[in-house]
Amino acid sequence: MAKVLLDIRDLHVRFNVYGGSLKVLNGVNLLMYEGEKVGLVGETGCGKTTTAKSILKILPVPPAKITKGHILFKDRDILKMGEREIRNLHAQEISMIFQDPTAALNPVFTIGDQLMEAIKYSSVHDGLSKREIYRRAIQSLQDVALPDPARILECYPVQLSGGMRQRICIAMALATRSQLLIADEPTTSLDVTIQDQVLRLLGVLVQEKETSTILITHSLGIVREWTQRVYVMYAGNMVETAHTDDLFERPLHPYTQGLLKAVPKLTGEGIAKGIEGRIPDYLNPPKGCRFHPRCPKVMAMCSKERPDFFVRGNNHLVSCFLYKE
């Protein structure tokens, strides 16, 4: 029986802005076991990155505020931890790959500076010597198939291509030997030809190091190839979760169904169909189920209450009144 690694329960996050507050996360739930490759899929702006940053507690806290909920990592609530504990946690156990590798690297420091600093603080207990840190840095660059690692350590981010920068970010994330890796759209900013390479590489590495991974993306294609289980997110809520194959074969939530219909296919009907309407205004979100204004199967009760999760098969949960007993 696999152990639970991460358990997010009813997470509410809001951002205080000039005109009011944006209720960005509205009760997010996510469960993850050790060794899994879980996908988190949803439109741009639905709160995926906010969820990721909450797990790492790197939300910009003055505008952002976690108002409710628990994030249990190995049975310890991250949200209740003190500053120092969280630092250790980050160093040893959780790491993240950001969407834009150019923004994730400090432009005025060399790759070597940043990579070795990360290694230094992640293994501060091991008491590594400078030489050892250097060696590990070279090793981690080799792991991501970067040629001439010694030269790269001397380079600045501006001298490298986008694909190389992302590999470096991956190397940084994995050099710290963490248990949980959160990859936030790691290939979105790359050329299509490179995307495949990087994903493959990531898959191999994650396998080798037995790192549990959350892959955040808006691409269903990537999810299908890469993940074992998927969470579908809409406007700050999880709406459906299932094993990947299950989700694609039997999408239950109207939103998921809409997403799948929106993907153009070579067979079948051919023409893709979008979902009517737009994502809600987070200042004044719709009451009840946040998808109800756009839902083709909307019912009266959808605008009154938010639906619970209803079980519909092996690890297949859906948050929709259509499936209420």
Partner 1 sequence: MKFLLFFSRRLLHSIFVLLGLSILVFFIARVMPGDPARMALGPRAPETVVEKFREELHLDKPVYVQYYYWLRGAIRGDFGRSLFTKRRVSDDIREFFPATLELMVFTGIIMSVAGIFLGVASARYANKWPDNVVRVISYLGVCTPAFVFAILFLLVFGYILNLLPTIGRLSPWIDRPAQITGFITIDSLIAGNFTAFWDGLKHLIMPGIALSLGPMAQEARITRSSMTENLQRDFIALERSQAIPERVIMSKYLMRISIIPTVSVLGLDFASQLGWAFLVELIFNWPGLSRYGINVMLHKDLNAIVAVIMVIGLLFLIVNIVVDIVVAGLDPRIRLGAERSK
Please count the residues of this chain forming the interface with partner 1, following the rule CB under 8 A: 36
**Which residue, 48 or 253, has its beta carbon nearer to partner 1?**
48
Site membership for partner 1, residue 150 (CB under 8 A): no
* Residue reference for tokens 């092996």: 314
17 binds partner 1 (CB under 8 A): no
Q: Does 79 bind partner 1 (CB under 8 A)?
A: no
The first and second tokens of residue 96, run together, are: 């993240």
Binding of partner 1 at residue 296 (CB under 8 A)?
no
Query: Could you say whether residue 96 binds partner 1 (CB under 8 A)?
Result: yes
Tell me the HSE value of 121 on the side-chain side, using a 13 A CA sphere. 14
Order of strands across the sheet that contains 94-97: 94-97, 180-184, 212-217, 37-42, 229-234, 237-243, 317-318, 310-311
CB of 227 vs partner 1, minimal distance in Å:
22
The span from the CA of 8 to the CA of 50, in Å, is 13
What one-character-per-residue DSSP string does 209-267 give? TT-EEEEEES-HHHHHHH-SEEEEEETTEEEEEEEHHHHHHS--SHHHHHHHHTS--SS
Please pick, from the candidates 1, 3, 19, 60, the single residue that binds partner 1 as defined by CB under 8 A.
60
- Residues of span 109-128 touching partner 1 by CB under 8 A: 109, 114, 117-118, 121-122, 124
Closest CA to 212 of 28, 30, 10, 26: 30
Please state, in angstroms and rounded to a whole number, the distance separating the CA atoms of residues 290 and 294.
9
Q: State in angstroms the smallest separation of the CB of 219 from partner 1.
A: 20
Q: Which of 2, 16, 17, 58 binds partner 1 (CB under 8 A)?
A: 58
Among 95, 189, 213, 237, interactor with partner 1 by CB under 8 A: 95
Q: Which segment (38-46, 108-116, 225-233, 267-275) binds partner 1 by CB under 8 A?
A: 108-116
Write down the least CB distance from residue 59 to partner 1, Å.
Answer: 9
Q: Does 87 bind partner 1 (CB under 8 A)?
A: yes
Helices (H), ranges, 9-82: 48-55
φ, ψ at 27 (rounded to 5°): 100, 65
Residue 91 in the binding site for partner 1 (CB under 8 A): yes
User: Between 58 and 263, whose beta carbon lies closer to partner 1?
Assistant: 58
User: Strand, coil or helix: what is 31?
Assistant: strand
Q: Taking the complex as a whole, how short is the minimal distance between the CB of residue 23 and partner 1, in angstroms?
A: 21
Which residues are near partner 1 by CB under 8 A? 53, 56, 58, 60, 62, 87-88, 90-91, 94-96, 98-100, 103-109, 114, 117-118, 121-122, 124, 156, 158-161, 169, 172, 176
